[in-house]
Amino acid sequence: MFESELAKALSDAQLTAEEIECALEAPKDAKLADISLPCFKFSRTLRLPPPVIAQNLKERVEGLDFVERAEVVGGYLNIFFDKQTVAKLALAAADTPVVGTSTEGEGKTICIDYSSVNIAKPFHIGHLSTTVIGGALYRIFKHLGYKVVGINHLGDWGTQFGKLIVATRKWSSLEEVERNDEYFLNSLYVRYHKEAEEHPEMDDEARAWFKRIEDGDKEATKYFDAFKEVTMRAVSKVYDRLKITFDSYAGESFYNDKMTPCLDILKDKGLLKESDGAMVVELDEYGMPPCLLVKADGATLYATRDIAAAYFRKQTYDFFKCLYVVAYQQNLHFKQLFKVLELMDFAGAKDMEHIAFGMVSMEDGAMSTRNGRVIWLKEVLDRAVEKAKSIIENKNPNIKDKDKIAESVGVGAVVFSALWNNRIKDIVFSYDKVLNFDGETAPYVQYTYARCASALRKSGEANFEDGDISSITDAEGYEVVKSVVTFGESVRLAAKLREPCYVSRHIVDLAGKFNRFYIDHRIIVDDKDVRSARLKLTLAVKNTLRTGLNLLGIDALEEM
């Protein structure tokens, strides 16, 4: 909140608010300033030495009502906030259960395409990031007043269906598949691949079956529906645990009848070229290989469906932005897709964004699917919950609802691990690391939250309404106050950069600051005014931590 206000106040013809906001930083030592503006970067544009720039900006900063004073130190402008104003804002966080909302998104719709699992293929650890990053962005944008449409662009089209029909008919039956779970379905798939190596004619059979699905053949469709049903049943259970919801499950098959008009536009614009019987859009002018849209046998592709989906979404939702939360391995696909849409003069072309992220691998070196060993997401969650349970049993053997708490802690830990870093970073997953109650983890934040709850309960005081946060002037307390107040700013930044880690980092930081305060200053003291003020601040922290956890899709627990 202060960052953007400062940036607005300091910007002028030569320096944009954006540049200033980017430059603002927390000082190394909190005693030096509340926030600091290094002016070195502006020297070139303004043709002035940094200290002179800082001096020129000083007066303007001091005119702001939330600024107490500013100091020029070398090339830095060090800014101190007015403690009363800051305290007043922190008070607001104590008075509302949901902190840091805004209306910036009013009237704007954001489509988020995330998770987008493949039917009849395992829901594995590789899907963790898209699912939880997408889910977090979904809630973060809603928090800021956007209308959000969560889309699961199911991978429900392709030759894997033909293969599965062949496998089912050879070694099982429709009834058995329907009765069983996703593991059973997967075992058929694995067996198919093994045997098809020696019997390549199976692939012809599979293709023929897939053709029958394409042609709407009744029997083939029955299989198709059963596979989809089994997968969706399994996937939904995981979504429930991860608190993930969607507004649309329009997947690849949904676009079967919606591609022709798009191909017509491409033809009309002379963009579609024939190449060995296939239809492509040439992109060498833009340094990319051609985008293949129709195969020689007439089959359409992943990209063709994505073009149709883009048109459908624009028409249906009139989106302001359309985000695709998909691994960086698909960078080229999205670059091609967006370029083709631009060449088609598609109205939403400039509002499409690929929100890329890195890979997740397991600490023990195990990887997903590649070498055949699948690490199911469900199993990672189960194992984390199991471990969480034994930790809780050790720490707090008498606590009620152990299973429920273990579920929240274990799942929360896994979710958080995918939201802690900048998206693009590859992650090495370690159970011990994500479940460390004293690290940069969900359990650490949850534990701090429970500590706030317990302090408020123990006070026995329902009435600290007139607690005056502005009377908290010790350094540790003031750091907590500031962190509460700047939470909304972090949420805004997370949305702007499509980086949920601004929220996860903020709540870990706040938890750390609160714990320092809690250890150095007792909350339940005899002096009524001091006690009320500290309780009030504790409530503000509690509300802020809960808001942050919930935005990430993680439970806040009153006790743990």
Return the number of the residue (309 or 481) whose C-beta is nearest ligand ARG. Answer: 309
Return the number of the residue (126 or 553) whose C-beta is nearest ligand ARG. Answer: 126
Distance CA 78, CA 71 (A): 5
- What's the Cα-to-Cα distance from 179 to each of 191, 233, 382, 420, 532, rounded to whole Å? 19, 12, 23, 39, 59
Distance CA 310, CA 118 (A): 19
Strand partners, 74: none
Return the number of the residue (57 or 303) whose C-beta is nearest ligand ARG. Answer: 303
Q: Write down the least CB distance from residue 112 to ligand ARG, Å.
A: 10
Say if CB 285 and CB 343 are below 8 A apart: no
Q: Write down the least CB distance from residue 115 to ligand ARG, Å.
A: 8
- Chosen residue from 3, 21, 34, 113 binding ligand ARG by CB under 6 A: 113
Span of 112-120, 163-171, 181-189, 427-435 interacting with ligand ARG by CB under 6 A: 112-120
- Chosen residue from 36, 78, 109, 116 binding ligand ARG by CB under 6 A: 116
Q: Write down the least CB distance from residue 439 to ligand ARG, Å.
A: 31
Q: Write down the least CB distance from residue 514 to ligand ARG, Å.
A: 39
Q: Write down the least CB distance from residue 541 to ligand ARG, Å.
A: 38
DSSP states of 69-95? EEEEETTEEEEEE-HHHHHHHHHHHHH
Task: Give the chain's radius of gyration (CA, Å).
Answer: 27
Map residues 55-94 to x or -, x wherever contact with ligand ARG holds by CB under 6 A.
Answer: ----------------------------------------
| Of the candidates 54, 63, 59, the residue with the CA atom closest to the CA atom of residue 36 | 54
Q: Write down the least CB distance from residue 113 to ligand ARG, Å.
A: 5
Distance CA 534, CA 524 (A): 8
Map residues 302-341 to x or -, x wherever contact with ligand ARG holds by CB under 6 A.
Answer: ----x--x--------------x-x---------------
Dihedral in degrees, nearest 10, Cα atoms 31, 37, 38, 42: -170
Return the number of the residue (116 or 490) whose C-beta is nearest ligand ARG. Answer: 116
At 33, is the secondary structure helix, strand, or coil? coil
Return the number of the residue (89 or 262) whose C-beta is nearest ligand ARG. Answer: 262
Q: Rounded to 5 degrees, what angle do the CA atoms 289, 292, 296 make?
A: 130
Say if CB 355 and CB 323 are below 8 A apart: yes
Distance CA 263, CA 30 (A): 59
Span 409-468, contacts to ligand ARG by CB under 6 A: none
Span of 111-119, 133-141, 222-230, 434-442 interacting with ligand ARG by CB under 6 A: 111-119
Q: Write down the least CB distance from residue 117 to ligand ARG, Å.
A: 7
Span 129-168, contacts to ligand ARG by CB under 6 A: 153, 155
Return the number of the residue (317 or 324) whose C-beta is nearest ligand ARG. Answer: 324
Strands 147-151 and 272-275: unpaired
Buried b vs exposed e over 188-202: b needs ≥16 C-beta within 10 Å? bbeebeeebeeeeeb
Dihedral in degrees, nearest 10, Cα atoms 479, 481, 483, 488: -160
Q: Rounded to 5 degrees, what angle do the CA atoms 509, 515, 517 make?
A: 105
Return the number of the residue (153 or 546) whose C-beta is nearest ligand ARG. Answer: 153
Return the number of the residue (161 or 324) whose C-beta is nearest ligand ARG. Answer: 324
Residue type, 504: S
Instruction: Classify 345 in phi/psi space as left (phi over 0), alpha (psi -120 to 50) or beta.
Output: left
Return the number of the residue (253 or 486) whose C-beta is nearest ligand ARG. Answer: 253
Phi, psi of 376 (to 5 degrees): -70, 140
Total residues binding ligand ARG (CB under 6 A): 9
Q: Is 387 in the site for ligand ARG (CB under 6 A)?
A: no
Tokens at residue 54, please?
């800082």
Q: Write down the least CB distance from residue 324 to ligand ARG, Å.
A: 5
Q: Write down the least CB distance from residue 248 to ligand ARG, Å.
A: 12
| Of the candidates 480, 486, 438, 543, the residue with the CA atom closest to the CA atom of residue 95 | 543
- Chosen residue from 43, 118, 159, 550 binding ligand ARG by CB under 6 A: 118
Say if CB 114 and CB 154 are below 8 A apart: no
Span of 6-14, 113-121, 258-266, 396-404 interacting with ligand ARG by CB under 6 A: 113-121
Return the number of the residue (234 or 445) whose C-beta is nearest ligand ARG. Answer: 234
Q: Write down the least CB distance from residue 501 to ligand ARG, Å.
A: 21
Return the number of the residue (113 or 476) whose C-beta is nearest ligand ARG. Answer: 113
Kindly list the residues in this chain that would bind ligand ARG in the complex (CB under 6 A): 113, 116, 118, 153, 155, 306, 309, 324, 326
